[in-house]
Amino acid sequence: MLTEAQAWTLLDGVPDPEVPAVSVVELGIIRELHCADDTVTVVVTPTYSGCPATEVIGLAIRDTLLEAGAGRVELQTRLDPAWTSDWIGEAAREKLRAYGIVPPSGKAAVGGAQPIHFVKKTLTCPRCGSNDTERLSEFGSTACKATYRCKHCLEPFEYFKPI
């Protein structure tokens, strides 16, 4: 039988399939974890409604825990409160940057009106450190990222959207 501490450590080794630089724990989507008898119950909050990684993550969590000796794994989905990129920890933000993805700016959860006119948000290029960058698209290769390019080193890079 696994202890809760062991189970947390195991899940911290499960990478996000679309952003493998961080684990599902670092991403903040594992909200709760309980071990009782031989059953591990994991409560997951999905990042985006339509994120195709959600099901892959579920499978990876199940496989990892079963392989480590859990008798049964029960996955529960929790929508409330909605996931926010503010749940990504400091260490994970640095890992994202090192991986070439600019981490989300904080306090995304503060909603309200947002300016709609060609938002010029200055990001620092994760490769060369230049601030001479521009947004190409509010959307990127996955639901959670936007696409930018650096006008100094001429490389494209991604920005983890604050949401």
Partner 1 sequence: MTQTTTQTVSAPAEHIEYVMRLGDNALILGQRLSEWCGHAPVIEEDLALANMALDLVGQARLLLTHAGKLEGKGRDEDQLAFLRVERDYRNITMMEVPNEDFGRTTVRNVLYSAFQILLWQRLATSSDTELAAIAAKSLKEARYHFNHSAEWVIRLGDGTEVSHAKTQAALDYLWPYTAELFAANPTDEAVSAAGIGPAWGELEADWEAMLLPVFAQATLVVPARTPFKTFGKFGRHSEHMGHLLATMQYMQRTYPGAQW
Total residues in contact with partner 1, by rule CB under 8 A: 35
Alpha-carbon gap, residue 6 to 41, rounded angstroms? 13
Q: Which residues pair with 42 in a beta bridge?
A: 33, 75
Site string for partner 1, 6-45 (x = CB under 8 A): --------------------------------------x-
| Binding-site member from 97, 127, 135, 149 for Zn ion (CB under 5 A) | 127
Among 143, 152, 153, 155, binds partner 1 (CB under 8 A): 143
Closest CB 101 distance from Zn ion, rounded Å: 13
Strands (DSSP E) along the chain, which ranges? 30-36, 39-44, 72-77, 101-102, 133-137, 145-150, 156-160
Burial (0-12, 13-18, 19+ Cβ within 10 Å), 148: buried
Q: How many CA atoms lie within 13 A of 93 on its CB side?
A: 12
Binding site for Zn ion (CB under 5 A): 125, 127-128, 130, 150, 152-153
Binding site for partner 1 (CB under 8 A): 44, 48-52, 54-55, 58, 75-77, 79-84, 111, 114, 116-119, 136-143, 147, 161, 163
